[in-house]
């Protein structure tokens, strides 16, 4: 599953790293490193990270339903 | 035909061609569809891959956290385009509204978006550049080749040029436990982008991480062995460095050669466009059907005295492409200016470096918060009594505040106290930028004057 983080926007809050530690990791105190093509099995975790990011910096393909196909994680992202 | 009828027709059945299928090209195309464009869309890209993200190439990929083929950009929506990948645009006929491809094909357009970006400036001595073990880092293929070479545990890696990319590469090499020498012509890493006061901190970071940093020197020659593999580099101070891997990180060249002679205002400094992303022709007259976005663009910015800015910034490519696409489909009154405040990030040696505004315009810097010694600070840049830029080292949370000061042209030095002000922040220091006319690896923001038709060269690599 493809994803990209807008690191201009990211404030290094690390919520994503708690919720999906296999995909997002802090590198030093506030630099974020992420896997730009995470395994599909991480989908639910990624959805939680997307929803929890306080500045909405994470964009994962298919999670917000903009591609027209209803995404399984749509509810999760809509909650915020 | 009234112009809104024309726009309706364009939106319904027009032909839009995007040249350059990377970050700006993709986000532009997605915006066109999002704004209701249902006509034909053609994406022309000379790389054989669908759009991918470059920043991870010098970070996650070199750190072994991701592979270069796993960097494809997530799609915001389906763009239903005809993809012409692996073939370059080779010419433009503005009168006939036609793009000529390198394979001889021609593609007609009603609107054209040019997003051909930049490429890595190669080592100027061609025979030396061709030695095995000499790399640049701009593309997916570059990253694959470099990663493979680093995986073979070279005895020493030499990075030529300590701009952002060069410094990130050096950082990744140290994390992999490799010996690294960095040769930089300026007085410190990152001086072109952030000035000497901050460059000094970057230099300390490199040395503490075990980088053999040589500043104020130039690499004068690369030498290979009998099998054509690079073995050593000669430096201008008379020393030499034994090395198996050399990464040339001397900044970028704008991909505008294909427009030579087309009549478009394109040159080594990029393609000039107005605040609405419409390209200028060589006479300085704005076109109505050709738009520009991303690293290849130079556009005037209201916050910076309407000087033309070229920004090699990820966020700029996205924002400018969105604006260009919107304006392409809009009446003149509905068009938007590209007023994005420049912003950039880099992570190296475990530190998150971010900037907003145009630090390199600054003549003074105030360490408004934190301390350089602790690698945790905010530097504010001043120009003619106003705040023009800011940089943070591991203090990103303060950056939006300073961005707001830049947007509101707040006075410099800021006349209010800030939290965590240390003695070093009592008064502004000279920002200590190198003379911009001296060629360097190049800052990531280039100020290029006021003339849209300016095609002068700013840097000519030495030829022998
Ligand atoms: C290693 C690396 C690390 C980076 N790190 C950061 C970072 O940390 N933060 C940040 O803000 N920015 C960073 N950047 C910069 C960022 O990636 C760029 O600003 C961004 O890629 C610009 O997008 P673009 O679409 O304008 O141009 P490019 O991404 O350069 O894309 C232009 C595309 O057009 C193609 N092209 C060129 N000529 C032709 C032609 N004649 N016909 C057809 N196609 C053509 C090119 O091959 C390329 O695919 C980094 C860049 C690199 C290389
Ligand atoms: S949760 Fe958001 S702001 Fe925090 S580190 Fe992750 S991406 Fe950055």
pLDDT in tens, B234-280: 999 999 999 999 999 999 999 999 999 999 999 888 999 999 999 99
pLDDT in tens, B89-137: 999 999 999 999 999 999 999 999 999 999 999 999 999 999 999 999 9
* Residue B35: closest CA among B76, B85, B82: B76
Q: Which atom of ligand 2 is nearest to the CA of A5?
A: 7
Q: Are residues B301 and B420 in the same domain?
A: no
Domain stops at, among B250, B272, B303: B250
Q: Are residues B129 and B115 in the same domain?
A: no
pLDDT at B345 over 70: yes
Q: Which atom of ligand 2 is nearest to the CA of A26?
A: 5
State mean pLDDT over B189-208. 96
Closest residue on chain A to B344 (Cα):
A8
The CATH number of residue B143's host domain is: 3.50.50.60
B129 is a domain residue:
yes
Of B70, B318, B352, the CB nearest to A12: B352
Residues of A in contact with B75 (CB under 8 A): 2, 61, 67
Interchain contact B418–A (C-beta under 8 A): no
B341-to-A59, B170, B298, B300 alpha-carbon distances in Å = 21, 29, 14, 12
Helices and strands: H and E segment counts in chain A = 3, 4
Contacts of B156 (CB under 8 A, 6+ apart): B178, B179, B180, B181, B241, B242, B243, B244, B245
Residue in B23, B71, B74, B356 to test binding to A, most A beta-carbons within 10 Å:
B74
Interchain contact B229–A (C-beta under 8 A): no
- Number of domains forming the structure of chain B: 3
When pLDDT is cut at 50, 70 and 90, the band that residue A65 belongs to is very low
- Domain residue spans of chain A: 2-61
Q: Is A56 in the pocket of ligand 2 (CB under 6 A)?
A: no
State mean pLDDT over B444-449. 73
Give percent of chain B with pLDDT exceeding 90.
86
Instruction: Quote the ipTM score.
Output: 0.91
B344 and A6 within 8 Å at the Cβ level: the answer is no
The CATH number of residue B382's host domain is: 3.30.390.30
When pLDDT is cut at 50, 70 and 90, the band that residue A77 belongs to is very low
B451 is a domain residue:
no
Q: Which atom of ligand 1 is nearest to the CA of B257?
A: 41
Interchain contact A31–B (C-beta under 8 A): yes
Q: Are residues B128 and B246 in the same domain?
A: yes
Q: Are residues B171 and B52 in the same domain?
A: no
The answer regarding whether domain A2-61 maps to CATH 3.30.70.20 reads yes
Q: Are residues B52 and B148 in the same domain?
A: no
Distance from CA of A15 to the nearest CA of B (A): 15
Interchain contact B396–A (C-beta under 8 A): yes
B416 is a domain residue:
yes
Domain stops at, among B271, B302, B334: B334
Interchain contact B64–A (C-beta under 8 A): no
Q: Are residues B161 and B227 in the same domain?
A: yes
Q: Give the number of other CB atoms < 10 A from CB of residue B435.
A: 6
Q: Are residues B360 and B422 in the same domain?
A: yes
B442 is a domain residue:
no
- Report the alpha-carbon distance of residue B169 to residue B174 in Å, rounded: 9
A8 and B352 within 8 Å at the Cβ level: the answer is no
Q: Are residues B22 and B104 in the same domain?
A: yes
Which domain, by its residues, includes B215?
122-250
Distance from CA of B356 to the nearest CA of A (A): 9
pLDDT in tens, B155-184: 999 999 999 999 999 999 999 999 999 999
B164 alpha carbon, closest ligand: 1
Q: Are residues B157 and B194 in the same domain?
A: yes
pLDDT at A76 over 60: no
Contact indicator for A9, A55 with CB cutoff of 8 Å? yes
Pairing status of strand B252-254 against strand B134-135? unpaired
The best mutation among B18, B21, B22, B49 to test binding of ligand 1, ranked by most ligand atoms within 8 Å of the C-beta, falls on B22
Domain stops at, among B230, B250, B270: B250
pLDDT of residue B305: 83
Of B74, B349, B352, the CB nearest to A59: B74
Q: Are residues B368 and B422 in the same domain?
A: yes
Contact indicator for B350, A26 with CB cutoff of 8 Å? no
B455 is a domain residue:
no
pLDDT at B4 over 90: no
B209 is a domain residue:
yes
When pLDDT is cut at 50, 70 and 90, the band that residue B451 belongs to is confident
DSSP string, B222-236: EEE-TTSBEEEEEET
When pLDDT is cut at 50, 70 and 90, the band that residue B416 belongs to is confident
Per-residue b/e over A40-70, b at no fewer than 16 CB within 10 Å?
eebbebbbbbbbbbeeebbbbbbbbebbeee
Lowest pLDDT segment from B215-219, B347-351, B455-459: B455-459
Q: Are residues B225 and B210 in the same domain?
A: yes
B285 is a domain residue:
yes
pLDDT of residue B2: 62
State mean pLDDT over A40-52. 95
Distance from CA of A58 to the nearest CA of B (A): 11
B446 is a domain residue:
no
- DSSP character at residue B128: H
Q: Are residues B243 and B306 in the same domain?
A: no
pLDDT at A71 over 60: no
pLDDT of residue B135: 98
CA B252 / ligand 1 centre spacing (Å)? 10
């Amino acid at each position: 599953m493809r994803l990209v983080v807008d690191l201009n926007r990211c404030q290094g809050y690390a919520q994503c790293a708690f919720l999906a530690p296999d995909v997002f990791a802090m590198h030093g105190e506030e630099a974020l490193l992420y896997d730009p093509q995470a395994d599909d099995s991480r989908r639910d975790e990624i959805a939680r990270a997307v929803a929890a990011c306080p500045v909405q910096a994470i964009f994962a393909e298919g999670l917000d339903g903009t591609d027209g196909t209803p995404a399984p994680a749509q509810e999760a992202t809509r909650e915020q | 035909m009234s112009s809104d009828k024309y726009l309706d027709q364009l939106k319904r059945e027009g032909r839009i061609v995007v040249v350059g299928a990377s970050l700006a090209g993709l986000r532009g195309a997605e915006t066109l569809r999002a704004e209701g464009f249902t006509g034909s869309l053609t994406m022309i890209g000379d790389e054989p891959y669908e759009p991918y993200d470059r920043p991870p190439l010098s970070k996650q990929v070199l750190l072994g956290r991701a592979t270069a083929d796993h960097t494809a950009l997530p799609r915001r929506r389906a763009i239903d385009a005809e993809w012409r990948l692996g073939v370059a645009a080779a010419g433009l006929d503005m009168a006939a509204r036609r793009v000529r491809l390198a394979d001889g094909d021609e593609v007609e357009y009603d609107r054209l978006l040019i997003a051909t970006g930049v490429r890595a400036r190669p080592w100027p001595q061609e025979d030396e550049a061709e030695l095995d073990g000499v790399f640049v880092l701009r593309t997916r293929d570059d990253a694959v080749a470099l990663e493979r070479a680093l995986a073979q545990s070279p005895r020493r890696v030499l990075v030529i040029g300590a701009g952002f990319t060069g410094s990130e590469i050096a950082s990744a090499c140290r994390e992999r436990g490799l010996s690294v020498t960095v040769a930089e012509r300026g007085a410190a890493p990152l001086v072109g982008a952030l000035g000497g006061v901050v460059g000094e901190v970057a230099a300390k970071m490199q040395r503490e991480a075990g980088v053999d940093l040589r500043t104020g020197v130039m690499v004068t020659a690369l030498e290979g062995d009998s099998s054509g593999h690079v073995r050593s580099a000669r430096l201008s101070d008379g020393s030499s460095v034994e090395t198996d891997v050399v990464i040339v990180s001397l900044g970028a060249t704008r991909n505008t050669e294909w427009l030579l002679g087309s009549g478009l205002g394109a040159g080594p400094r990029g393609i000039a466009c107005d605040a609405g992303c419409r390209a200028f022709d060589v006479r300085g007259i704005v076109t109505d059907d050709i738009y520009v976005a991303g690293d290849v663009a130079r556009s005037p910015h209201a916050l910076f005295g309407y000087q033309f800015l070229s920004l090699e910034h990820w966020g700029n490519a996205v924002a400018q492409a969105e604006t260009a696409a919107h304006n392409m489909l809009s009446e003149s009154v509905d068009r938007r200016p590209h007023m994005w405040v420049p912003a950039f990030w880099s992570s190296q040696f475990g530190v998150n470096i971010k900037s907003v505004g145009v630090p390199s315009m600054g003549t003074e810097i105030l360490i408004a918060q934190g301390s350089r010694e602790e690698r945790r600070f905010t530097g504010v840049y001043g120009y003619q009594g106003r705040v023009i830029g800011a940089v943070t080292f591991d203090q990103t949370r303060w950056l939006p505040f300073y961005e707001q000061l830049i947007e509101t042209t707040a006075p410099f030095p800021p006349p209010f106290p800030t939290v965590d002000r240390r003695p070093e922040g009592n008064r502004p220091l000279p920002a200590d930028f190198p003379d911009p006319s001296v060629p360097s690896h190049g800052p990531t923001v280039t100020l290029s004057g006021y003339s849209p038709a300016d095609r002068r060269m700013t840097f000519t690599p030495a030829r022998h």
